[in-house]
């Protein structure tokens, strides 16, 4: 049996009377790009919409668009008028041709301005979110770098000598300030301000072990 000929209806935003009907699979749209020039059928050029049609679903605009209902500053009656004029998205309202804009009457320019302001605000929110994501990734990279640098500047400590093991474990969790305070209290001298943590821990272990040894011998 002969194949059923499928036609497409192409509607223009802002003009409820502009409906172009053409065969879905005939090469009727001429396009030129980096790969050269060729003719496309409506089914190819509007692949997303055609896939929706083939699936038997309600037709929607292709791509990611903002529903016109998101413009809450526009009354429902005007939203209905816009949809009747094939304007179903905020983006379509922003891009409406001047001759079609006049059909909206005195409120047409206000509606278009509302669409422009909405999309500009959405772009700012998107940019801010993207910046925050970038900053979070940067912070994570810096933390990883600091961890790597810390590992490079703090070599693994040697095995503690006899009598030092218990103190090595104890001082491992101490902060720099706590280690400095301990050494100052036990030796009467404040350690160098530039001394790294692993050196201070080693000194604290030595001091504590010697104190314990002296106490045991007394």
Q: What is the pTM of this model?
A: 0.41
Neighbours of 181 (CB within 10 A): 14
From the centroid of its chain, how far is CA 198? Answer: 40
pLDDT at 151: 56
Selection from 11-15, 121-125, 194-198 with the highest mean pLDDT: 121-125
Contacts of 126 (CB under 8 A, 6+ apart): none
The percent of residues in the chain predicted with pLDDT above 70, rounded, is 66
Each residue of 72-117: pLDDT tens digit? 888 888 888 888 887 888 888 888 888 878 888 888 888 889 999 9
Q: How confident is the model at residue 131 (pLDDT cuts 50, 70, 90)?
A: confident
Q: Which residues pair with 40 in a beta bridge?
A: 29
Long-range Cβ pairs for the range 23-29 (8 Å, 24+)? 24/50
Cα angle, residue 20 at apex, residues 16 and 23 outer, rounded to 5°: 150
Closest CA to 208 of 179, 194, 189, 197: 179
Contacts of 63 (CB under 8 A, 6+ apart): 48
* Greatest CA separation for the chain: 112
Q: How confident is the model at residue 30 (pLDDT cuts 50, 70, 90)?
A: low
């Amino acid at each position: 049996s002969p194949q059923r000929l499928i036609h497409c209806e192409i509607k223009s935003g802002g003009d409820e009377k502009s409906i172009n009907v053409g065969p879905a699979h005939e090469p009727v749209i001429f396009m030129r790009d980096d790969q050269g020039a060729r003719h496309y059928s409506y089914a190819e050029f509007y692949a997303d919409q055609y896939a929706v049609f083939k699936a038997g679903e309600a037709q929607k605009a292709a791509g990611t668009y903002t529903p016109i209902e998101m413009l809450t500053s526009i009354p429902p009656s005007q939203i209905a008028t816009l949809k009747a004029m094939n304007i179903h998205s905020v983006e379509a309202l922003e891009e409406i041709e001047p001759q079609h804009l006049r059909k909206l009457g005195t409120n047409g320019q206000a509606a278009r301005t509302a669409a422009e302001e909405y999309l500009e605000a959405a772009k700012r929110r998107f940019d801010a979110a993207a910046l925050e994501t970038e900053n979070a990734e940067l912070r994570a990279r810096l933390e990883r770098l600091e961890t790597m640098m810390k590992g490079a500047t703090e070599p693994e400590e040697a095995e503690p000598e006899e009598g030092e093991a218990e103190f090595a474990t104890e001082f491992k969790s101490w902060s720099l300030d706590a280690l400095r305070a301990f050494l100052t209290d036990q030796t009467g001298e404040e350690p160098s301000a530039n001394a790294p943590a692993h050196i201070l821990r080693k000194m604290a272990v030595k001091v504590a072990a010697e104190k314990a040894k002296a106490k045991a011998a007394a």
